[in-house]
Structures are given as structure tokens and as C-alpha cells.
């Protein structure tokens, strides 16, 4: 493995959820320990499962891995860190401010930025603690901080003074007011990250366009703050041992196309390719095989995996009688939200309903997915780049007008936050919510529960909608419509894999805090539902069973969409997804 040659003290693994970061990080830690090195494996991932991988409880204390001499592990609990962070900020004003204001502050500190800043505050010690560094030869991190978080920590001036001057709008700078370390400590941590003699960045992806695009974005973002060296690991590539049945051939074709289209900046980096394994990467023995090629005889014949009959068409049957409504397809990138949204929209339109299919996903390609037209179906795209640009310009011209250079630098960075992006597109999204009273509106990607609560707490969307509709007109807020189960149906789209299911569960909790109960879950691209014939794919199907059971335990209703030999592009293939018994086409 190129990324394991002459490894420095720190190794950071990053990539989108579900690509196998944790498996690669754990296998790396084992490999280094097997060389006689003293290794600490650290996870800062909100969906961390390194304890599950090793079959023991780890938690927020350094825990020796008994099966591997020289290896210890630590899970920084992001939620616990964020809870402590919020309390540190809110405690001094509890009893001095009204409960409603305290709730507003708490929600402003409930987003992903708070979690990441709090986690970075925790693992700063691991980068700068001399006694800890004397104990371990290598520290392996499962998940790296984003460039946005690091840039926040590099901002000039006083965070507290800026926050005092800029109250009134959603802000990701709120978490910074809880930092209790001196900025020189963070500067030392960032210097360690930017030093290739001390730190190696490993970008993990699958051979999929969305996963490669994510690590390309991450690589560019980190390069802006001086972290430039990197290695690429393409994980989970289908091996020859998977056989030659149509599904396997189709997957290989898609993977080859994705790798041929790899972004230029990534193509220039050293690259390793890891084959997909028949079983889950659970336990030390399994992890030791991750860097090995899959043998032809590695997969033994399996009994067919039986998954519950749960066709997507049943969802259409339940959605149709209302004649209108808002259908939100939500989930992490790469799980197939665009395909599911398009399939539902096509099915409803073909049943004679007026349907508006729209997306807020900058990476979505609805036109390419549909590859045709259907009577009664219109397609639009909420342009997030334009909405964000207009929002940032407006905020800088108003809120930033009287700030000094340091204040404007802080505000500029704040407006680069992912949370800001969701706030910016909300004005256009609210129009789609309004339309759903008269027709079906299917939305590919929607604001998270945190964004909705943040906007509700600040009143910003109330003011905006009042401006658009006129102060003399009565209106119902979009959040109230989203909370109405008769009008709004939220579908969580996931894959039958550990991390995507955990991330979808987190999204469900996020929505429930906003008073929105997801209507159903869609398990997409299921190998088990495709009824594979070769031993290798049957073994992969068996590994999905636990996650499918977990989805049924969490969801009110479930649809399972099989992995298809041909991608569902075009109206006819999308329509096949909602047939009672969809067949590979």
C-alpha cells in the first residue's frame, strides 16, 4: 500500500459516509501495530463504530485492544463533546435570560459546526500533548476536520466581540465562544496538520462519481489552509471473484467509468485500490484481509438471503389518494435520493396527477436521470450557488457593513458554512412547500431539522415570507406545513450498510426534534433484493441482512429497491422501480 510506506506520526482518513473510512483506518492501525509500533486509533466520526468493529466497548477513554499488542483506541463522542460545549456557553446566562431565548441559543449550537468544533477542541490535545506523543509512535484518526472548521479557528480578532456585534442571524461562529484553549494551542495543532513530515492525509472513496467528488472537494478545502499532501484509497472495488453475472458486470462498468472520470487534482495523487470483500470488516481477522486481494475460492456457496417484500410501488399506492402533497427525499450523498425522487414523481404523473419535481442538490442531474418527459410532470432546480451568492452578498452589505477588517473576515468565513447554504436556499424551498397544497411536489434533498429549528428560533424565515407575501396577508409558516403529516411525507433514503443507516437514523432524530416524523425509509441498491447467484455476491447479500433488520426496527414503513444490472436512467426504467415487483432491466 502506497499510503503505508514510511508513515508519519499522524494519519488522517477522510471521505463521505459509507465508503469504508473506519475499516481502512482500523486495518491501518493493525498493520502498524503488527510492525511493532505503538499505535493509538482515534475516531471523531459521529457515526463511529470502531468499538463494534473490534467487538468491544471503547468510548471516550484510551482502551487497549487486547488482541493486538501495542494498539489502543479512543472514541471522541461528538455528541457528548457538543453537549458539554453548549452547557459551557449557556450556563452563565441561565436564569438571566427567558427560556425562549435560551432555547434559541441552544438550537443555534445544535448544528454540525458545533459538533465538529467541539470535537476538534477535544483532539487538539492529541496533536499537541507531549506526554501522549511520547507514548505512541503513530496516531491514526478516523475522520479529519474540515477545512471550514480549521479556517474558523484561524480567524483573526476576538470571536466574542464579533458575536456580540453580530447577534440576530443564524451563525456557525456561536460554537467558537465556548473554546477555552488559547489560540496558540490551535495554531500548533493546525501546524502539525499542515506538516507532511508529521501528518498524512488519506482520502478514502468508492469508485463512484459522488464519492470521488466529495474527496476532491475536501482536498481542495484543506489545501486552502496548507494541508496539501495526500493519498487516495479507492475502497470496495468489485473483484473478479464476484463472477460474471449481469449485476457484477454492470457494477464493474460503472466503477471503471467513475475511475476514468476521476477529478484531475486526485488523479495526480498516489493511489491504492482495495477490493470489496465478501463479508463485513468486523473483527481483527477480517481487518487483516482488507489489504489483500480477494482469492477465487474465498467465497463459499451461501444459502439465498430472503428479504421482506417491500416494493417502492406500495409507497405510491399510499401517497396517491391525497391528490397533492409534499414528498421530501432526504439522506446522505451517494445513496440515490435523485433516483428515488424521480421514480416517485414519474409514477404519480403517470397516474394522472400534476407533479413538480425539484432538487436543492447541487450535484443532482434530474434531467439526465429522467432522459425524457412525462405528461403532467414539470422539473426544476433550485440553484443553490445563486441562492448562496445572493444571500452572502446581502449579509455582507447589511450585517457586515460597519464591521472592521477582522469582523468582516469572521463573517465571510461564517458564510462559507454548510449551515449557511441551507439557510440560503430556504427561501426558494418555501415556495415549493406552498405549491404542495394544490399538486404533488417531490423534492430531492431538503433542509435538515436543525436548519428548520434554527430559522424558526431566529424568525428569519418569518420575516422573509412576510416580505414576499405582503405584511397585510396572513400566512402559515413552512415549518408548520412540514410538521403536518397529512401534507408532508419525508422519505429517508439509505443503503443497507452500517454508516448510511446510522447517518439516516441521526437525520431522523434531527427531524423529530423539529416535530417532523419521517413517513418512511427506502433501502436503495440492495444486493440481497437482487437475488444474486454467485457465492461472492450472496455473501455480500447476507451482510446486508442485519442493516435491513435495523431499518425495519426504526421505520414506520420500508421500501427496498434492488441493485439493477442497468442504472435506472430514463422514464421507462424509473417507472419499473415502482412496479409491484421491479425487475432488473
Query: pLDDT (tens digit, 9 = 90+) per residue, 381-422?
Result: 777 677 778 878 887 888 778 878 877 877 777 777 666 666
pLDDT on residue 245: 85
Is 583 contained in some domain?
no
Is 49 contained in some domain?
yes
pLDDT on residue 282: 81
pLDDT on residue 458: 47
User: Which CATH number belongs to the domain containing residue 520 in this structure?
Assistant: 3.40.50.300
In angstroms, the CA 407 to CA 401 distance is 10
Record the pTM.
0.75
In terms of domains, do 276 and 324 share one? Answer: no
pLDDT value at 583 more than 50: no
Mean pLDDT of 116-132: 77
pLDDT value at 13 more than 70: yes
Q: How many CB atoms lie within 10 A of CB 474?
A: 5
In terms of domains, do 378 and 273 share one? Answer: no
In terms of domains, do 14 and 63 share one? Answer: yes
Confidence of residue 558 (pLDDT cuts 50, 70, 90): very high
Of 459 and 551, more confident: 551
How high does pLDDT run on average in the chain?
80
In angstroms, the CA 137 to CA 72 distance is 12
Instruction: Cell numbers for 498, please give them.
Output: 452500517
In angstroms, the CA 311 to CA 520 distance is 12
Confidence of residue 521 (pLDDT cuts 50, 70, 90): very high
Is 446 contained in some domain?
yes
What percentage of the chain exceeds 90 in pLDDT?
29
pLDDT value at 150 more than 70: no
Is 521 contained in some domain?
yes
The total of structural domains in the chain comes to: 2
In terms of domains, do 494 and 535 share one? Answer: yes
Give the list of residues 6+ apart from residue 564 with CB closer than 8 angstroms, or none.
247, 250, 530, 573, 582, 584, 585
pLDDT on residue 349: 95
Strands 63-64 and 71-75: antiparallel
Mean pLDDT of 225-253: 86
Mean pLDDT of 213-237: 86
Mean pLDDT of 249-267: 90
pLDDT value at 5 more than 90: yes
Of 513 and 273, more confident: 273
pLDDT on residue 540: 87
Query: pLDDT (tens digit, 9 = 90+) per residue, 463-512?
Result: 444 444 444 444 466 677 788 899 999 999 999 988 788 888 988 988 88
Mean pLDDT of 106-111: 70
Of 280 and 29, more confident: 29
Is 213 contained in some domain?
yes
In terms of domains, do 349 and 263 share one? Answer: no
pLDDT value at 454 more than 60: no
In terms of domains, do 251 and 375 share one? Answer: no
Domain carrying residue 238: 2-287
Is 371 contained in some domain?
yes
Inter-CA distances, 549 with 188, 345, 496, 501, 542, Å:
46, 28, 9, 11, 12
In angstroms, the CA 58 to CA 72 distance is 9
In terms of domains, do 237 and 357 share one? Answer: no
In terms of domains, do 205 and 335 share one? Answer: no
pLDDT on residue 84: 79
Query: pLDDT (tens digit, 9 = 90+) per residue, 352-368?
Result: 999 999 887 655 566 66
pLDDT on residue 475: 47
Q: What are phi and psi of 85, to 5 degrees?
A: -65, -50
Alpha-helix residue ranges (DSSP H) falling in 166-208: 183-194
Last residue of a domain, one of 221, 252, 287: 287
pLDDT value at 445 more than 80: no
In terms of domains, do 322 and 281 share one? Answer: no
Confidence of residue 302 (pLDDT cuts 50, 70, 90): low
Confidence of residue 98 (pLDDT cuts 50, 70, 90): confident
Is 389 contained in some domain?
no
Mean pLDDT of 51-59: 80
pLDDT on residue 449: 60
In angstroms, the CA 383 to CA 429 distance is 10
Total residue length of the chain:
585
pLDDT value at 104 more than 90: no
pLDDT value at 174 more than 50: yes
Give a three-class secondary structure readout of 431-482. Answer: HHHHHCCCCEEEEECCCCHHHHHHHHHHCHHHHHHHHHHCCCCCCCCHHHHH
- Contact by Cβ (8 Å): 516, 276: no
In terms of domains, do 254 and 317 share one? Answer: no
pLDDT on residue 78: 72
Instruction: Cell numbers for 439, please give them.
Output: 399538486
Most confident among 144-148, 191-195, 369-373 (mean pLDDT): 191-195
Active site residues: 18, 20-23, 45, 499
In angstroms, the CA 585 to CA 577 distance is 10
In terms of domains, do 283 and 323 share one? Answer: no
Of 49 and 301, more confident: 49
pLDDT on residue 427: 65
Amino acid at each position: 500500500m502506497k499510503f503505508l510506506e514510511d508513515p508519519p506520526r499522524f494519519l488522517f482518513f477522510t471521505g463521505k459516509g459509507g465508503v469504508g473510512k473506519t475499516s481502512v483506518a482500523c486495518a491501518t492501525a493493525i498493520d502498524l501495530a503488527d510492525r511493532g509500533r505503538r499505535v493509538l486509533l482515534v475516531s471523531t466520526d459521529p457515526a463511529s463504530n470502531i468499538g463494534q468493529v473490534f467487538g468491544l466497548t471503547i468510548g471516550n477513554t484510551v482502551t487497549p485492544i487486547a488482541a493486538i499488542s501495542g494498539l489502543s483506541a479512543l472514541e471522541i463522542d461528538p455528541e457528548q463533546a457538543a453537549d458539554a460545549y453548549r452547557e459551557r456557553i449557556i450556563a452563565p446566562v441561565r436564569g438571566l435570560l427567558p427560556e425562549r431565548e435560551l432555547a434559541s441559543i441552544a438550537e443555534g449550537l445544535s448544528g454540525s459546526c458545533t459538533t465538529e468544533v467541539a470535537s476538534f477542541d477535544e483532539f487538539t490535545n492529541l496533536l499537541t500533548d507531549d506526554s501522549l506523543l511520547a507514548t505512541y509512535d503513530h496516531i491514526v484518526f478516523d475522520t479529519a476536520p474540515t477545512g471550514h472548521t480549521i479556517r474558523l479557528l484561524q480567524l483573526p480578532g476576538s470571536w466574542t466581540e464579533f458575536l456580540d456585534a453580530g447577534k440576530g442571524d443564524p451563525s456557525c461562529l456561536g460554537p467558537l465562544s465556548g473554546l477555552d484553549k488559547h489560540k496558540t494551542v490551535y495554531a500548533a495543532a493546525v501546524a502539525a496538520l499542515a506538516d507532511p513530515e508529521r501528518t498524512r492525509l488519506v482520502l478514502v472513496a468508492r469508485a463512484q462519481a459522488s464519492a470521488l467528488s466529495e474527496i476532491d472537494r475536501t482536498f481542495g478545502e484543506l489545501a486552502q489552509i496548507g494541508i496539501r499532501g495526500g493519498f487516495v484509497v479507492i475502497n470496495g472495488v468489485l473483484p473478479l471473484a464476484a463472477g460474471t453475472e449481469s449485476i457484477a458486470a454492470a457494477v464493474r462498468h460503472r466503477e471503471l467509468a467513475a475511475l476514468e472520470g476521476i477529478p484531475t487534482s486526485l488523479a495526480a495523487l498516489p493511489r491504492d485500490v482495495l477490493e470489496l470483500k465478501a463479508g463485513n470488516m468486523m473483527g481483527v481477522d477480517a481487518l487483516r484481509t482488507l489489504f489483500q486481494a480477494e482469492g477465487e475460492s474465498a467465497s463459499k456457496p451461501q444459502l439465498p438471503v430472503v428479504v421482506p417484500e417491500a416494493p417502492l410501488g406500495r409507497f405510491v399506492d399510499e401517497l396517491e389518494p391525497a391528490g397533492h402533497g409534499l414528498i421530501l427525499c432526504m439522506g446522505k450523498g451517494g445513496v440515490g435520493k435523485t433516483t428515488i425522487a424521480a421514480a416517485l414523481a414519474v409514477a404519480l404523473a403517470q397516474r394522472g396527477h400534476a407533479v413538480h419535481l425539484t432538487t436543492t442538490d447541487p450535484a443532482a442531474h434530474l434531467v439526465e436521470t429522467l432522459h425524457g418527459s412525462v405528461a403532467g410532470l414539470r422539473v426544476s432546480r433550485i440553484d443553490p450557488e445563486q441562492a448562496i451568492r445572493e444571500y452572502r452578498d446581502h449579509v455582507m452589505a447589511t450585517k457586515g457593513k460597519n464591521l472592521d477588517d477582522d469582523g468582516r473576515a469572521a463573517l465571510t468565513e461564517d458564510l462559507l458554512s454548510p449551515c449557511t447554504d441551507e439557510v440560503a436556499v430556504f427561501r426558494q424551498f418555501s415556495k415549493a412547500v406552498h405549491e404542495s397544497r394544490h399538486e404533488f411536489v417531490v423534492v430531492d434533498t431538503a433542509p435538515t431539522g436543525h436548519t428548520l429549528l434554527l430559522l424558526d428560533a431566529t424568525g428569519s424565515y418569518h420575516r422573509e415570507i412576510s416580505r414576499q407575501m405582503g405584511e397585510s396577508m396572513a400566512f402559515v409558516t413552512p415549518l408548520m406545513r412540514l410538521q403536518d403529516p397529512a401534507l408532508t411525507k419525508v422519505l429517508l433514503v439509505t443503503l443497507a450498510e452500517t454508516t448510511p443507516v446510522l447517518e439516516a437514523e441521526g437525520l431522523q432524530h434531527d427531524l423529530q426534534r423539529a416535530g417532523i416524523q419521517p413517513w418512511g425509509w427506502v433501502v436503495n441498491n440492495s444486493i440481497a433484493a437482487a437475488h444474486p447467484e454467485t457465492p461472492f455476491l450472496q455473501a455480500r447479500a447476507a451482510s446486508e441482512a442485519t442493516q435491513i433488520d435495523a431499518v425495519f426496527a426504526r421505520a414506520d414503513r420500508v421500501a427496498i429497491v434492488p441493485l439493477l444490472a442497468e442504472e435506472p436512467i430514463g422514464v421507462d426504467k424509473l417507472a419499473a422501480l415502482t412496479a409491484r415487483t421491479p425487475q432488473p432491466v
